[in-house]
Each structure stands twice: as C-alpha cells, then as structure tokens.
Amino acid sequence: MIRIENLVKTFGAKRAVDGVSFSVERGEVLGFLGPNGSGKSTTMRMITGFYPPTSGRVTVGGHDVAEQPLAAKRLIGYLPENAASYPDMTVESFLEFAAAMRGLDGAARRKAVAHAIEMCFLSAVVHQSIDTLSKGYKHRTCLAQALIHDPEVLVLDEPTDGLDPNQKHEVRNLIRALGKTKAVVFSTHILEEVDAACTRAIIIDRGRIVAQGTPGELRAMSTLEGAVTLEAEGATAEKLAVLGRVESVNGVFRIYPGDTSRGAELAAAVIDLVNREGWKVRGMYSERGELDEVFRSLTQPDTVKT
C-alpha cells in the first residue's frame, strides 16, 4: 500500500532525509522511530504529498504521489504533527466539515461523523468548541478527522502526543485494531509504542534508516538479550571471573545492590526462607533485550557531551 524508494529531501545544505526506502502492506502497523530531528516528520510529509521529495519516489495504493496526487491522497488519512483545526468550530461541526471535504454527504456524512466520534472517544465533548478542549481532546479530534473517510492508509505523526496514560492506551488499541485491515505508519520517539501497537518498526537517525524489523528482532540486537541474572551472596570479583569460563558466556557484569523498594525486601525475605529450608535453587531468569538500549546505541551523536 505504501512504497518508498530512495527518498531524499534537502533544505539548502541540510539533508533531512537521505536515501530512505521501505514499504508497508495492508495489515501492517509500522512504527517509525527516531530522535528529534531525525527526519521522521519530513518523511511523513513526503508520503502524504505535503512536501515534494528532492529525489526518490513515493507510491500509495499504486499511485505515484507526485504524478497522481489526488488518487493517492484519497486513500490517505493524515494526522500531522501539531495538527491544526478551527478553534471556533465545535467538534461535531469540524468533523462534518472534514467529511464534506472528503466528498461525503447526507446520511453517509452523518454516519461517518458518528463513527469517528465513537472511535476516538469524543462523545463527551462533541458540542464543545475546539478552543475549549484540553490538549488531549484536541489531538483526538484531529485524529478523528484523519479517520473520517475510512481510509485504506493511515499516516500518523506522533498520534499519542499530549495524551494522558488512559488516552494513550485507548489510542494504541485503536491503532492496533485499524492495522488489521489498513496499512498504518506512525512516527514516535516513545519506545513503549513499539510493543503496544507495532507489527514492525524502523529506526531512523540523521535521515537514514539504521535498523528495522519486528519488535522482537530489534530487541534481539540488545547486548542484554538472553543474559542470565544470578543473585548470590559472596560473589567477589575473583569468583565472578570463574563464570567467564562457562561456554557461550561473552561477559560478566556485576550489579551492586541498592534497591530499597518493597519488591527488593520481599525478594530478600524469600531468599532467606529458601536458604533456611535448604532448598536447591533450580531456576534463574533470562533477561530480554531492551529496546531503549538498542535505540541509544544506534542514535547516539558522534560526540556525547557530559
């Protein structure tokens, strides 16, 4: 549904997007991850035709966005970053206006507006003017306009920006549900969104793709993937060195105690009980890789100032 080939965008001497290529099929939710200024929003804007590419090609549903813009844009629902709206309109009138701009009329328009209000949980504010809404409700209103015409492709730039934890949970569930029948690409710098909503993710840094894969494949790039955590008394540096002789051990790292949370106290109490009873411990647990570690390792600036 979305195909991007060698996409480049320059602003004067700055190369904001530098040879990006990827595709998104129907039934996929692609997370587009990167630090601020990495080229995420610029890529979103080129997919939707808002920015013309300096070079490269974007097709949506088989239509070239530069050569067949209307045919491509009819398929797209777009939530831009810092989405604008008309503050003097009510939520309902704004969505009716958006539906009219998409060519919907009569009963079809009323049905589309009602459906968008329900999907984006806007019924409590439907008769309020947009300028009286909280940031979260304003953002959801703009998300509703992106969904108003039931598009086949969704391009969402920071769709959970400004939402509280409950609203984020609702929107992530909505994105995951929409992704079953549509092609969805959304940009974010929030790593938990990958596990919450994505079937696949791309990490972009300084205009270039530096990694892509399923959440599990990206996590497998972490140095913590498959690590084993062992808690034991008397584990001196000399004794820890013995662990390095175990086959397939690549390194041993010591973690010093210092957590005074109730969870740590409970763990200590359980360990004491196990020792008193003389049980033989048969289990340890294996760590899974951390996405934030992978993200940092791939997007660190060349010179990190301290």
Q: How far is CA 26 from CA 88, 182, 185, 228, in A?
A: 37, 5, 11, 38
Q: In what order do the strands lie in the sheet with 200-205?
A: 76-79, 153-157, 183-188, 29-33, 200-205, 208-213
Max mean pLDDT among 187-201, 242-256, 285-299 falls in: 187-201
User: How confident is residue 220, by pLDDT bands cut at 50, 70 and 90?
Assistant: confident
Q: Which pLDDT does position 288 carry in this prediction?
A: 60
CA distance 136 to 240: 51
CA distance 156 to 169: 16
Q: Please, which residues have CB within 8 angstroms of residue 161's CB and are 6 or more apart in sequence?
A: 81, 139
Q: Is the pLDDT of residue 21 over 80?
A: yes
Look up residue 306 and give its DSSP letter.
-
The answer to whether 222 touches 294, Cβ cutoff 8 Å, is: yes
pTM attached to this predicted model: 0.79
Q: Which pLDDT does position 304 carry in this prediction?
A: 45
CA distance 167 to 160: 8
Straight-line distance from the first to the last Cα atom of the chain, in angstroms, rounded to the nearest whole number: 44
Q: Which pLDDT does position 193 carry in this prediction?
A: 84
Q: What is the mean pLDDT of residues 30-34?
A: 91
The answer to whether 94 touches 126, Cβ cutoff 8 Å, is: no
User: How confident is residue 306, by pLDDT bands cut at 50, 70 and 90?
Assistant: very low
Q: Annotate 244-270 with DSSP letters as a single string.
A: TTSTT------------SHHHHHHHHH
Q: Is the pLDDT of residue 233 over 70?
A: no
Q: How many helices (H) and strands (E) does the chain have?
A: 11, 12
How many CA atoms within 13 Å lie on the side-chain side of 255? 8
pLDDT in tens, 250-304: 777 666 655 555 556 666 777 777 778 787 776 665 556 677 778 777 887 654 4
* Residue 54 exposed, middle or buried by CB count within 10 Å (0-12, 13-18, 19+): middle
Q: Which pLDDT does position 2 carry in this prediction?
A: 96
pLDDT in tens, 130-186: 999 988 889 899 999 999 999 999 999 888 877 888 888 888 999 999 999 999 999
Q: What is the mean pLDDT of residues 202-226?
A: 86
Q: Annotate 125-147 with DSSP letters as a single string.
A: GTTSBGGGS-HHHHHHHHHHHHH
Q: What is the mean pLDDT of the chain?
A: 85
pLDDT in tens, 86-143: 999 999 999 999 999 999 999 999 999 999 999 999 999 999 999 999 888 898 999 9
Which of 14-23, 175-184, 243-252 has the lowest average pLDDT? 243-252
Percent above pLDDT 90 for the chain:
53
Q: Which pLDDT does position 162 carry in this prediction?
A: 75
The answer to whether 228 touches 287, Cβ cutoff 8 Å, is: yes
The domain locations on the chain are 2-219, 228-286
CA distance 3 to 54: 16
| Sequence-ordered alpha helix ranges (H) in 48-154 | 69-73, 91-101, 106-119, 135-147
Give the residue among 227, 288, 289 at the shortest CA–CA distance from 252: 227
The answer to whether 20 touches 43, Cβ cutoff 8 Å, is: yes
Element (H, E) at 60: strand 55-60
Topology adopted by domain 2-219: Rossmann fold (3.40.50)
Max mean pLDDT among 62-71, 242-251, 269-278 falls in: 62-71
User: How confident is residue 305, by pLDDT bands cut at 50, 70 and 90?
Assistant: very low
